[in-house]
Structure 1
Amino acid sequence: MEGDREYCSELSRTQGEPMLGTAEPVDIWLLLEYKPAWKSRAVEDNGLEDETNRWLEDSLKRCAERGLKARPQFIRRPDFDLGTTTLFIARNNSLGRIEASEYDAIREVDVLTSDLASVRENVYFVCTNGQRDLCCARYGLPTFARLQELVGARVWQTTHLGGHRFAPNVLALPQGILYGRVDVDVVDAFVTTIESGDVSRSHVRGRSAFPPEAQFAEMQVAGRVEALLDIRDDRVRFRTNLGEEEVRVRSASIPMQIVASCGDAESKDVYPISGTA
């Protein structure tokens, strides 16, 4: 019975698992509209034409050859089908967008160099793929619906963002921060914070352009981070609007036993990050 089911998101909250420093590091986000139903691993298992899948694979390969981690996402917006296909590319703290009538035009885009129309307003991407994990649909869909009421066409459903147990997960671009546990009852306050140009600190998982240690450290400094300068041993150094700031970080010596996904039969060891400025 559903009432007896244990959801990984609820278990993570009950255990008090920290979220900060859990965003997967990503240099380039590639978010492609795909309207049909999503399978569990939608980006790899889909009904796109072979040419489009090859373009996607080639784009990821070219990024990797340059030492850049690109992450592909499928997106959709069921109530705003304009008869076009949208592609977003986020890189270097900017967000670009192209709308095309066919995937042919999308395949002409160079993920590394194409100059797409700049998007300056916040766009929100909510993981809702219940085929991958039950929590993503159970908690993500209500959050998506409320976001849609507040920001209209600036919110999209998306495939797996990583970290099912932190559902509802929301990626905000071009801000570049992944948020977790953005429950439907906090969406209004969350949007107010993001739209004002601030960070919703109680929901931060991390800035995806940074490695986990720097994701954690960014939230400890007094100033606004302008650049990550270096990471040496247990120290993370930033340039901020107040000057250079340094944070000491460490991983827990004793792991937490965490159920990472609703489909997992066994728990895994997780070592949360902590530290001080």
Structure 2
Amino acid sequence: MTRCRESARAEPLAGTAPAARWWWLIEVPGPWGRRAVEECHVPVVRQLPSTPERRVVLVRRPGRHPATDPQAPLRVWICGSLPHDPPPRVAVVDQHADLLDWPASGPTDGLARPDPQAPLLAVCTNSSRDLCCGLDGRALVGALTSAVTSSNDRVWECSHLGGHRFAPTALLVGDGLVYGRLDAAVAQSLIDSGPTPSTAGHLRGRSCLPPAAQAAEAWLLAQGAHPDPLTADCENVGDRLQVTFADMPPVWLAPETGTPRPASCGGEAETWSAWRVLGG
């Protein structure tokens, strides 16, 4: 069987990040199912659907760890996707049902506190969901955690981020930036330096932006620009799309479709669509 990653090499990365204004990272050690959140052995997690305002993912330390008591306190990180958002905050939740009352941006009662040791790079290793994520994601985590640096202990495994065909995929926690087709060198650069022009070619997008704006921001970042994502504006002009950010020249894009390919290993072939950047 040809893995989905190999079949999708011609498909553009930019503009494929999942929609999420806020990210909730919930620590759940042990094995995960194909639908990790919906099948989680912690009952309350199954009641936390992902929406464009909030995406829920499970995280765990690299390696094998036994599943915890489903009634044990939960550690939850709340992470934004815009530069002005607070840094990742963590809350230890004793009463699981409290999570059902939180707004997407997290608790407002001071329960969540800034955590300088929060996960920094969350790499999808959800092998039950897709073979590429399991093989390539775990290989990347292994390479990063075997390196001796001050920050690599902040590399965590996570559940599905969408886009199995772009494995290894990862979330740069606190930035809301989702990456794909990573290798150890690029991932290490993200850990050490954050987003830079040299890593922009692996950027799928900022999760709070629509796909076209994701692609435009990635293109500008590759040029060394730093657009303000809060000011993104998309306008149809004929058969093209114009994306503008404050104090930046417009970026022009056109829709593009490609040869059918499976979106995941063993899946049916589907035609892909993307936004191709024409220039600024």
Structure 2 partner of 1:171:
171
- Report Cα offsets for 1:110-169 as digits up to 9, x if no partner: 243524222467711010011001111110001011222343331111111000000000
Partner secondary structure for residue 139 of structure 1: helix
Shift of 1:43: 0.5
Tell me the residue number matched to 2:209: 210
SS of residue matched to 1:225: coil
Displacement of 1:249 in angstroms is: 1.0
Instruction: For 2:209 and 2:16, locate their aligned partners in 1 and report how far apart those are by CA, in whole Å.
Output: 11
Which residue number corresponds to residue 91 of structure 1? 80
The unaligned stretches of length 5 or more in structure 2 are none
Cα separation, 2, equivalents of 1:198 and 1:71: 21
Superposed CA deviations along residues 232-270 of structure 1, whole A, max 9, x for unmatched, are 11111102xxx2321111111x43312111021x21011
Deviation at 1:108, TM superposition (A): 8.3
What is the CA–CA distance in structure 1 between the aligned matches of 2:78 and 2:64, rounded to whole Å? 20
Quote the offset at 1:228 in angstroms: 2.8
Q: Does 1:12 align with 2:8?
A: yes
| CA drift at 1:28 | 1.2
Question: 2:227 maps to what in 1?
Answer: 225
Show the counterpart of 1:74.
58
For residue 124 of structure 2, the aligned residue among 127, 130, 139 is 127
Offset, 1:21: 0.9
Pick closer, same or farther for the CA change 1:45–1:113 going to 2, 3 Å.
closer
In 2 relative to 1, CA 52–163 (structure 1 residues): closer, same or farther, beyond 3 Å? closer
Q: TM-score, normalised by structure 1?
A: 0.81
The Cα shift of 1:209 comes to 1.4
Instruction: Name the CA distance, whole Å, in 1 between partners of 2:219 and 2:45.
Output: 42
Equivalent residue letter for 1:232: E
TM (norm. structure 2) is 0.80
Contact 1:100 1:106 (8 Å CA) reproduced: no
Cα distance change on mapping 1:101 and 1:110 into 2, 3 Å: closer
**Across the two proteins, how many residue pairs are aligned to each other?**
253
- Superposed CA RMSD in Å reads 2.7
d(CA) in 1 for partners of 2:255, 2:2: 28
